[in-house]
Amino acid sequence: MSEICWTEDLSVGNQAIDDDHRHLFALLDNLQHTMPQGLVTQDAATVVEDLAHYVEAHFQREEEFMQRIGFEGYVAHKADHDRFVSEVHALQSRLDRGAQTLTLDIDKMLSDWFRRHVLVLDMALAAAVKEKAGA
Ligand SMILES: [Fe+2]
């Protein structure tokens, strides 16, 4: 089982956002450990709930920040956040309905999504912030 962790190449150059991302990768790694091979263990619901809370709080912080600075990419960025949140909610409701196994490699899917989101959209936000600061 490979470890899901934040790496330096994911840095957006903002300490608070990087710290949030580090924490989110740790939660995703935790999720991977509570659902080995898609088997739902006792802790899975708690881990997914923690992930849902944290991810929503983090996205809200980022979205408020984007609005504050009048970021042009806000709508597309928020839509990508919303997609992730709905995936996490879908996972929560499958667990609530008593799923014992999850056929999809859901932990990998979520961490791949998150990595791509940070590398593409959060990086674009970071670049816009730098540009504004330099203008
Ligand atoms: Fe984001």
Q: How many whole angstroms from 71 Cα to the centroid of ligand 1?
A: 12
DSSP assignment of 11-59 equals: --S-HHHHHHHHHHHHHHHHHHHHSGGGBPPTTHHHHHHHHHHHHHHHH
Q: How many whole angstroms from 118 Cα to the centroid of ligand 1?
A: 6
Q: How many whole angstroms from 80 Cα to the centroid of ligand 1?
A: 8
Q: What is the pLDDT of residues 4-60, one digit of tens each?
A: 888 888 888 888 888 999 999 898 888 888 877 777 887 888 888 999 999 999 999
All domains of the chain in start order, with CATH: 29-134 (1.20.120.50)
pLDDT for 104 equals 58
Q: How many whole angstroms from 121 Cα to the centroid of ligand 1?
A: 6
pLDDT for 17 equals 87
CA distance 21 to 28: 10
Q: What is the pLDDT of residues 58-82, one digit of tens each?
A: 999 999 989 998 999 999 999 999 9
